[in-house]
């Protein structure tokens, strides 16, 4: 079951105190980004955050489950009402996560006319 865009905007609104939160449709579901870093996904109307040591220190009892079959486990955030805890958790996780790598442009071989 695909996630609804309404749920995705609810999640983004709920975590907006953590930074500049955006989302992008990815593989039929949604990727969630905070200040330019990929922090998690929304799958089947559930919010999953990438696992980090620092995040686990802030919220140690979060369930860790894969968002889809074949995926690595993520933290499952089911409660988004406590803004202070969620913000601290996401900011701690953000510190540990990498920025997206820039893709190198492919350099093609130009063919000259007449050859």
Each residue of 81-95: pLDDT tens digit?
Answer: 999 999 999 999 999
**26's tokens:** 């990815």
CA distance 82 to 17: 11
CB atoms within 10 A of CB 77: 20
CA distance 101 to 62: 28
Each residue of 59-77: pLDDT tens digit?
Answer: 999 999 999 999 999 999 9
Domains of the chain: 5-96 (3.30.1460)
DSSP code of residue 99: P
The 3-state DSSP class for residue 51 equals coil
pLDDT tier for residue 101 given thresholds of 50, 70 and 90: confident
CA distance 36 to 28: 21
User: Do 42 and 113 contact (CB within 8 A), yes or no?
Assistant: no
**36's tokens:** 């330019």
């Amino acid at each position: 079951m695909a996630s609804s865009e309404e749920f995705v905007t609810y999640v983004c609104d709920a975590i907006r105190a953590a930074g500049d939160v955006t989302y992008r449709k990815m593989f039929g579901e949604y990727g969630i980004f905070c200040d330019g870093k990929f922090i998690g996904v929304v799958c089947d109307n559930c919010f999953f955050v990438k696992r980090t040591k620092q995040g686990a220190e802030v919220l140690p009892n979060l369930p860790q489950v894969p968002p889809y079959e074949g995926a690595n486990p993520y933290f499952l955030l089911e409660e988004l009402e406590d803004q202070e805890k969620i913000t601290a958790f996401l900011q701690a996780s953000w510190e540990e996560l990498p920025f997206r790598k820039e893709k190198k442009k492919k350099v093609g071989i130009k063919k000259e006319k007449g050859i």
